[in-house]
Structure 1
Amino acid sequence: MKLQASGKSSTWFVYQKIVIVFIVLLLPLITMSLWLNFKGMSVSKDAILDSSFAGASFYSKQLDKEMYFIRNLQLELLNDQDLQKLGFRGGTLDNYEEVALIDQIRDRLATLTVSSEYVLNAGVYVESVGKTISTFSGVTNTPNVEMELISSLLSVKSKPSFYRSGDRIFFIETENNGKIWSYIEIARPKLLEALKEIAKLYPESEVLLGNKELGSILATEAEPAQTTGILALAGSGDLNSLETPTKGSMHGVDYFIIQNDVSSLGLELIMYVNQNEITRPLSQFITWFYTLFIIALIVLILYSFSVNLMIHRPLSKLVKAFHMIETDNLDITIESKSKDEFHYVFNSFNNMTLKLKHSIEENYEQKMALQLSQLKQLQSQINPHFLYNSFFNIYMMCKVNDAESAAELSQKLGSYYQYITRSGSDDVPFVKEYRHALDYCDIQCIRFSNRIAYEDGGPSGIPPAFSVPRLIIQPIVENVFEHAFVDGMDDGRIYINADYRDGRLRVTVEDNGRMVTDELIAQLGERLGDDSKQMEKTGLMNVHNRLRLKYGPESGLFISRSVYGGLKVELIIIDVSEEAS
């Protein structure tokens, strides 16, 4: 059964993906919490401002109504019949009637004074009797202080909504072409007290009564510079709305400004408060919000750390172990201190590596046994004709009394069979293997009646202790004698060379035979490159497979055309131990 993983390859770690998904899922909640927090702050702030605006608007309307009420009483006083009679007939009335009218007017003034707490003093000036009548100074002949003060205020050409004399505020009206004056002094302390009541709508707020032209008439703020700046902000174009609270900044401080029109005085009642004072009740919610936000970040960090600890580290340990297996290092085990799923995975991995190691060892032993059996097979493949011809040559040499040649051939033949039939280790020093191949060449050259010769380039740079498997060069030379010179050529040559450089042994066997075609060379190359297990195990194939089994796929036999016209066989061995050092 084949299990296939879905999805595309990625360079992200698993725990990074988990953390990113967690953040993506958590981000909308954090964003919504932020929005709800600031939206709630905005709604609460607007509610506070609306409440303050409604309260200030209510008090300003009440004050405006009170001022209109006082003005109406003043106008009614001017139209009083007793005052009109005194104004028209003041010089013609007898003393009793004049005194009676004056008493009536005094009573009306007293009633006007008590009708509103904002009235400090109410009085009239009657030119026909030359007297001023007021609740403050009574009936006084003119000229007097009150009459002179009112006269100076009336000298203003354009009639204002009210008159000012220092800190004193007056309502002044005239009748009968200025022959009757009615003046009412507004109680400044009471008016200031009313402004302070409005300021109590919100802590730390201040209220002023005034406008841009006249400046601050009355204010709860003790600093004139502050009130002047607020009036400048209130009179600017973008803050001239009387419907909703507006904002302004002065000396780096943001203010909420609430304006209400007091038309009876031609002034504006302005309430202003530091924006921080408005948001101060909300500061604890802001603190809690940021505390929760920091807690959320800490939870995210702890979650990431826990995912890294519980998932990423075990996975990284497992991945590193697999990387080590890829380098053929099977002496590795993963320790697990937990009892979770990774404990099972690690134990399974350890069991797998152990079984794999045992399987490789068994396979290696089998291959070594196969290699030994191939060597035994090669040793048993002694050509009877080669043995018969060798003995026949010795016989003929004895017949012709060539004892020296017979002795030499007998010695080489004995050395040859002693080498191929010996038991023991499969590996022998290279110089012995090379000498054995030359002995074979000597025997064959005698057999072929010296029609064939060989040239030995000699080993070059071979380490004395360098060992190779037995019978790896002689089968190559044997192949030359069996196939290259079967046409009976008289001048056959074999060229043998060996050199060792940088951990690489190269043995070259070439001939000048005429029997090897390009097609045959190609076929031999394909057969040597085929990894099929059904290949024959004799001759060149036997040597090639043994070399690849022992030294790896880069070692073995390599076939090509020789520069001498025949076949060129290169035996290459990569000394892995030498390369590693």
Structure 2
Amino acid sequence: MKLQAAGKASKWYVYQKIVIVFILFLLPLISMNIWLNYKGMSVTKNAILNSSQAGASFYSKQLDKEMYFIRNLQLQLINDKDLQKLSFRGSLLGDYEEVQLIEQVRDRLSTLMASSEYVVNSGVYVESIRKTILMNSGVTGTPNEEMKLMTSLSEVTPKPSFYRSGNRIFLIESANNGSIVTYIEISRPMLLQSLNEIAKLYPESEVLLGSQESGTMLTTAENADESEEILKLTADESVDQEPPQFKKMNGVNYFITRSAVGSLHLSMIMYVNQNELTRPLSQFITWFYTLFIIAIIVMILYSFSVNVMIHRPLSKLVKAFHMIETDNLNITIESKTKDEFHYVFNSFNNMARRLKNSIEENYEQKIALQHSQLKQLQSQINPHFLYNSFFNIYMMCKVGDSDSAAELSQRLGSYYQYITRSGSDEVPFYKEYRHALDYCDIQCIRFANRVSFEYEEETEIPPSITVPRLIIQPIVENVFEHAFEDGMMEGKVLIGTAYREGMLRVTVEDNGNLATDGMIEELRGKLAMDSKTVENTGLINVNNRLQLKYGPDSGLSVSRSRHGGLKIDLVIALENMKEAAACTDC
């Protein structure tokens, strides 16, 4: 017979385990690679975001510092002694002195304008002389348009940090109950240019200057509505708070950094498309997924190669062993390669051939050995039982209980006649059952008033059924030796039989209280173990003999009795013996 294909199995193959182990070893490396990749991208991303935040913060602080500087110059101007003198003594001054003071004030205004490129105009209104001193238009009497504008703006309450009129931005301060009003016009184009410088930090970034109260004052965005929406997204943030944040608007994630311009009570907000910030990282993501796909392909190729080189030859070998388990020894495995499996297949073929010859040569010898083992198991007799029985007869004679002594002698003689009788290894079941009942009678006579037993007649069991000798008595003996050894009164042993569909069952129960759950589990374990690994006690011997003769479906099982003690079931699968006999005849 030639074996060409591997059989289908419902369990894990060796090659599957190898592939799984390979994947398990590879997964930590892949996981570490993923973690390092995302950790690196996270660190890089945070560095980019921190850099953008630092840049925006730097420009906003520069702008804030410049505005504070202009305000300080304005405060110095309003407290200038020449301006104060002009205000207090304006109506008392002569023309020359007035002109001289006005020129000195204009010099101060000129210095203020030259101090910052954000100042496009500056002026002073002096109520006592009813004139405005302007850098762009000189000295003008009032009322005039400039004075009207300043007066209307200064009447706004509460007083803002800056004033707006159309596209013009003013810083206005007054003193001496409004007798002196100074104002500075801030260059809107210069402010917008500063915002554009910040917006150049990243492509597609925009910067706005505004607040929730006054809205967007300046923005680099072409669409002012977009800046208004960004301003609304940050409505829950305080002016002084500057944490970077991510907000989603119109399906686009924006990175938003906010810096306070305290001199104007405004916020400078830079917002940029998050994809623009992370675009340099996209190439790393591409390489990562490429390497991940390569790793998957490597695992697939490795699995396929292991399947071809290891799994298929092993499947042939496993199927061959399965066929040997069915006693089919006419089998050989062909090998087309010259690798290690070639040696294994040749060794298997030689083993199958030698095994077949060995079985044919040693079959009769093994049968004889099994027969000898059965003889040895049957010949075990407990001499203590005989000594104790003789002592009981002696004591009965001493007390004059001749009837009990006679009955015990009769039962004892019948008992030993049965176990010492030579002849066939098997006896009719009713004789084996009667022998066990004789043993119970003997024990009950010996332990009168302490132990009793009940039994069922074996009326349903065909008389032609034969069983090995001495298979029931060791079970009953175990009950009397262990279940009642604490001297309990009213001990009871119950013996029953059943026969159905080729299954013969004998049940022995007791009401003893010495069998703990742990002892029952230990006994179950011993009965389930190989006969070579446990000591050959009476119950173990019976179990081994039944399984050796009738197969694994036969033997002993233990459980808790409904009477509180131990329950032992002896099962014999007689149908197995019929099938084996039929195969032998074939």
Q: How would you bin the TM-score normalised by the shorter chain?
A: 0.5 to 0.7
Q: CA deviation at 1:191?
A: 0.9
TM (norm. structure 1) is: 0.58
TM-aligned CA deviation for residue 205 of structure 1: 2.2
Q: Tell whether 2:51 aligns with 1:43.
A: no
What is the distance in 2 between the residues matched to 1:121 and 1:92?
29
Query: What is the aligned partner in structure 1 of residue 243 from structure 2?
Result: 244
CA distance in 2, matches of 1:88, 1:195: 42
Give the AA of the match of 1:46: N
> Post-superposition shift, 1:17?
1.1
Q: Structure 2 vs 1, CA of residues 134 and 279 (structure 1 numbering), >3 Å: closer, same or farther?
A: same
Q: Distance in 2 between matches of 1:240 and 1:314?
A: 75
Counterpart CA distance in 1 for 2:43 and 2:359 is: 78
Letter in 2 for 1:209: L
Q: Distance in 2 between matches of 1:92 and 1:306?
A: 111
Q: Distance in 2 between matches of 1:129 and 1:361?
A: 138
**Contact map agreement 1:234 1:240 (CA 8 A) in 2:** no
Look up the equivalent residue of 1:176 and give its one-letter code. N
Match of 1:312 in 2: 311
Residue equivalent to 2:401: none
Residue 232 (structure 1) shift: 1.8
Letter paired with 1:554: A
Deviation (angstroms), 1:245: 1.5
| Structure 2 residue aligned with 1:29 | 29
Partner of 2:179: 179
1:152 maps to 152
Q: How far apart are the structure 2 equivalents of 1:235 and 1:284? A: 36
The offset of 1:179, in angstroms, is 2.0
Report whether the alignment pairs 1:231 with 2:216: no
Distance apart, 1:242 and its partner CA? 2.1
Q: Is the 8 A contact 2:106 2:135 kept in 1?
A: yes
Letter of the 2:70 partner, please give it: I
1:287-366 pair list within 5 angstroms:
287-325=286-324, 333-352=332-351, 359=357
**Counterpart contact for 2:239–2:266, Cα < 8 Å:** no
2:520 is matched with: none
Cα offset for 1:218? 1.1
Residue 136 to residue 522, structure 1, CA distance change in 2 (3 Å): closer
Rate the CA distance shift 1:354–1:235 in 2: closer, same or farther, 3 A.
Answer: same
Structure 1 unaligned segments of length 5 or more: list them.
1-9, 368-517, 524-529, 532-551, 557-572, 575-581
Q: Distance in 1 between matches of 2:257 and 2:28?
A: 38
Preserved contact between residue 240 and residue 259 of structure 2 (Cα < 8 Å): no
**Aligned-residue identity in percent:** 67
The structure-2 alpha-carbon separation of the partners of 1:129 and 1:23, relative to structure 1 and needing over 3 Å to count, comes to: same
SS in 2 for 1:132: strand
SS in 1 for 2:157: coil
- Please say which structure displays the higher CA radius of gyration: 1
Deviations for 1:286-318, whole angstroms, at most 9, x for unmatched residues?
222222222222222222111111111111122
TM-fit CA distance, 1:113: 0.7
CA contact (8 A) 2:239 2:260 kept: no
Give the Å deviation of 1:171: 0.2
Matched, 1:75 2:75: yes
Q: Offset of 1:11 from its aligned partner?
A: 3.0
1:191 is aligned to 191
Cα displacement (A) at 1:322: 3.6
Map residues 466-485 of structure 1 onto 2, 5 A cutoff: none
* 1:480-538 CA-partner distances (Å, limit 9, x unpaired): xxxxxxxxxxxxxxxxxxxxxxxxxxxxxxxxxxxxxx99x999xxxxxx99xxxxxxx
CA distance in structure 2 between the aligned counterparts of 1:64 and 1:131, rounded to whole angstroms: 32
Distance change (3 Å), C-alpha of 1:340 and 1:138: farther
In structure 2, the partner of 1:554 is 582
Q: Deviations over 1:314-348 (max 9, x none)?
A: 11122233445556666655443433211222333
Aligned position for 1:274: 273
1:133-532 → structure 2 map (5 Å cutoff): 133-236=133-236, 242-325=241-324, 333-352=332-351, 359=357
Partner SS for 1:170: strand
Q: CA deviation at 1:214?
A: 0.9
1:85 aligned onto 2:85: yes
Looking at structure 1, the residues matched to 47 and 220 of structure 2 have their Cα atoms a distance apart, in angstroms, of: 24
Rounded Cα–Cα distance in structure 1 between residues aligned with 2:176 and 2:358: 132
In the alignment, structure 2 segments of 5+ residues that lack a partner are 1-9, 365-462, 469-547, 550-579
Q: In structure 1, how many angstroms separate the alpha carbons of the residues matched to 2:215 and 2:359?
A: 105
Specify the SS of the correspondent of 1:171: strand
Q: How many Å separate the matches in 1 of 2:583 and 2:351? A: 31
Deviation at 1:106, TM superposition (A): 2.0
Aligned to 2:564: none
Tell me: CA distance 1:263–1:361, structure 2 relative to 1, closer, same or farther (3 Å): closer
* In 2, Cα distance between equivalents of 1:241 and 1:121: 30
Whole-angstrom distance in 1 between the partners of 2:160 and 2:77: 20
Describe the SS at the equivalent of 2:93. Answer: coil
Structure 2 CA distance for partners of 1:297 and 1:204, relative to 1, 3 Å = same
Answer whether contact 1:242 1:258 (CA < 8 A) is retained. no
> How far apart, in 2, do the equivalents of 1:349 and 1:293 lie?
43
SS in 1 for 2:203: coil
Match of 1:64 in 2: 64
Q: Write the distance in 2 (CA, Å) between the matches of 1:255 and 1:362.
A: 87
Q: Is the counterpart of residue 117 in structure 1 residue 145 in structure 2?
A: no
Count of aligned pairs between the two proteins = 370
What is the alpha-carbon distance in structure 2 between the residues aligned to residue 261 and residue 294 of structure 1? Answer: 48
Partner of 1:54: 54
